[in-house]
Amino acid sequence: MLTDYHVHLRADDLDARAADNFTSANARRYREAASARGISELGVSEHVYRFREALAIWEHPFWVQNAIDDLIAYCAFVREQTDLKLGLEVDYIPGREAQTRQLLERLELDYVIGSVHFVPLAGGGVGAVDMAEHGVWSSGAGPEEVWSAYFTTLGQAAASGLFDILAHVDLVKVFSAGERRPQGDLRRFYELALPAIIGSGVAVELSTAGLRKPCAELYPSRELLELLVAGGAPIALSSDAHRAQDLGYRYERALALLSELGVQELCVFERRRRSLAPIGAPGGAAAEDAAIAAGEGT
Ligand SMILES: [Zn+2]
Ligand SMILES: [Zn+2]
C-alpha cells in the first residue's frame, strides 16, 4: 500500500480557480495518475488560506489576497463528487491556536496537515520561508536566526495538537544554498523541535516535493528522518503534488530511504483516526511506464 495525502488540485496561484479545478473530471485524472503508480490511498489537502473562512485565523496580506473560495463548498465537493480522502493543509500560526481549532471543529476531515510557512522574526513581524514575496530572507535575518525560528515554531505546531500530520518538516532549507544554510551540524536546530514532535505523537510527512525544489532533497533530510524514526514518529508519505503528473513523484527515492531505516508501515487516515498499513511495492512495470510517459526524472 502506498499513500499520497499531501496533494493540491491546482497550482498555488490566483489564476488557478476553484471552478476550473475542483471538478469530478480533475479528481478522476488525479485518481488515474495515482493508480498508475500503485498509489491506492489518495487524498487532497488544499491550502486553508485560499478560503475566506481562514481570515478568522489570520489576516496577513498574503492571506487576504488569497482568501477567495468557500471552504464548506470544497469539503462538499470532495465528499460528494470524488472518491478521494478529504484533507486540508493548515498553517500553524502562533497565538491563533484557538481560532484554528474552532475552524477545524466545524469540518469533518479525514486528516489535517500542519505546515509552518511563516516564522516570527526577532525584529518583529513574520516572514515566509518558501516564498520570495513576504519572504524571510529579504528581512535581513541570517540563517542562524531563520533556522532557529523555523524549528522552534515547528515544535510549537507539533505541541499544539491541532494536526494529524506535520508537513515538509525541514522546509526552511528550500532555498538553502550558500549563505542561507547554517554552518556545521544541523542537529542544534532539529533539537529545537524534536522533543515536541516525538512527545506529541503527531505523524511526520516524508515528502518528495523537495526533490523538485532548489534544495533537491527529500523533506526531511536523511539525518532528521533518522532521528524522527528513532524516536518512534509514524511516517506519512506524500508528494505535495500540485498537478496530476507529480503524484507519487520519485517515490522510489523515498521508499529506498524508508527501507534503509527499517520503516515498514505508513500512516493511513480516515475521519481523523490514524492506523498503520504495510508499505507495498509501487505499481511495478505499469507504474514505471506511466512515470516515464509523464516525464519523470527529467
Ligand atoms: Zn506547504
Ligand atoms: Zn502543500
Fold (CATH) for 3-293:
TIM Barrel (3.20.20)
In the numeric block, the cell 527499517 is attached to: 262
Copy the grid coordinates of residue 236. Answer: 506519512
Ligand 1 centroid from CA 29, angstroms? 22
Residue ranges of domains in the chain: 3-293
pLDDT tier, 282 (very low <50, low <70, confident <90, very high otherwise): low
Ligand 1 centroid from CA 168, angstroms? 7
- State the DSSP H helix or E strand holding residue 109, giving kind and residue range, or none if neither: none
Ligand 2 centroid from CA 166, angstroms? 11
Query: Which ligand has the shortest distance to the CA of 6?
Result: 2
Ligand 2 centroid from CA 240, angstroms? 5
Alpha carbon distances (Å) from 51 to 70, 75, 101, 123, 166: 5, 11, 16, 30, 21
pLDDT tier, 291 (very low <50, low <70, confident <90, very high otherwise): very low
In the numeric block, the cell 500500500 is attached to: 1
Ligand 1 centroid from CA 167, angstroms? 7
Q: Does the N-terminal peptide bond of residue 143 adopt cis geometry, omega within 30 degrees of 0? A: no
Query: Which ligand has the shortest distance to the CA of 47?
Result: 2
Ligand 1 centroid from CA 222, angstroms? 19
pLDDT tens digit sequence for 189-240: 999 999 999 999 999 999 999 999 999 999 999 999 999 999 999 999 999 9
How far is residue 121's CA from residue 126's CA, in Å, rounded to a whole number? 5
Ligand 1 centroid from CA 285, angstroms? 31
CA atoms within 13 A on the CB side of 189: 26
**pTM of the predicted model as reported, rounded to 2 decimal places:** 0.93
Non-local (6+) Cβ contacts of 284 within 8 A are: 38
Q: Assess whether pLDDT exceeds 80 at residue 178.
A: no
Ligand 1 centroid from CA 253, angstroms? 20
CA Rg value for the chain:
18
- State the DSSP H helix or E strand holding residue 188, giving kind and residue range, or none if neither: helix 187-190
